[in-house]
A and B are shown apart, each in its own frame.
Chain A
Amino acid sequence: DAGITQSPRYKITETGRQVTLMCHQTWSHSYMFWYRQDLGHGLRLIYYSAAADITDKGEVPDGYVVSRSKTENFPLTLESATRSQTSVYFCASRGSARDTQYFGPGTRLTVL
Chain B
Amino acid sequence: DAKTTQPPSMDCAEGRAANLPCNHSTISGNEYVYWYRQIHSQGPQYIIHGLKNNETNEMASLIITEDRKSSTLILPHATLRDTAVYYCIVFISGNTPLVFGKGTRLSVIA
For chain B, the count of residues having a C-beta within 8 Å of the partner chain is 18
Inter-chain CA distance A98–B94, complex, in Å, is 7
**A52 near B: Cβ within 8 Å?**
no
Least Cβ distance of B49 to chain A in Å? 7
Within 8 Å CB of B93, what residues of A? Answer: 97-98
Contact B97 A33 (CB under 8 A): yes
Within 8 A of B (CB), among A28-79: 31, 33, 35, 42-43, 45, 48, 50, 56, 58
Inter-chain CA distance A45–B97, complex, in Å, is 8
Inter-chain CA distance A102–B99, complex, in Å, is 14
**B29 near A: Cβ within 8 Å?**
no
Contact B98 A101 (CB under 8 A): yes
Within 8 Å CB of A45, what residues of B? Answer: 97, 99
For chain A, the count of residues having a C-beta within 8 Å of the partner chain is 22
Chain B residue with Cβ nearest A103: B43
Within 8 Å CB of A101, what residues of B? Answer: 46, 97-98
**A19 near B: Cβ within 8 Å?**
no
Contact B97 A106 (CB under 8 A): no
Chain A residue with Cβ nearest B49: A100
Least Cβ distance of B107 to chain A in Å? 18
**A105 near B: Cβ within 8 Å?**
yes
| Chain B residues within CB distance 8 Å of chain A | 32, 41-46, 49, 93-95, 97-103
Q: Can you spell out 30 A-B residue pairs with CB atoms less than 8 angstroms apart?
A: A31-B97, A33-B97, A33-B98, A35-B100, A42-B100, A42-B101, A42-B102, A43-B100, A45-B97, A48-B95, A48-B97, A50-B95, A56-B95, A58-B97, A90-B44, A92-B44, A92-B98, A97-B93, A98-B32, A100-B46, A100-B49, A102-B46, A103-B43, A103-B44, A104-B43, A105-B42, A105-B43, A106-B41, A106-B42, A106-B43
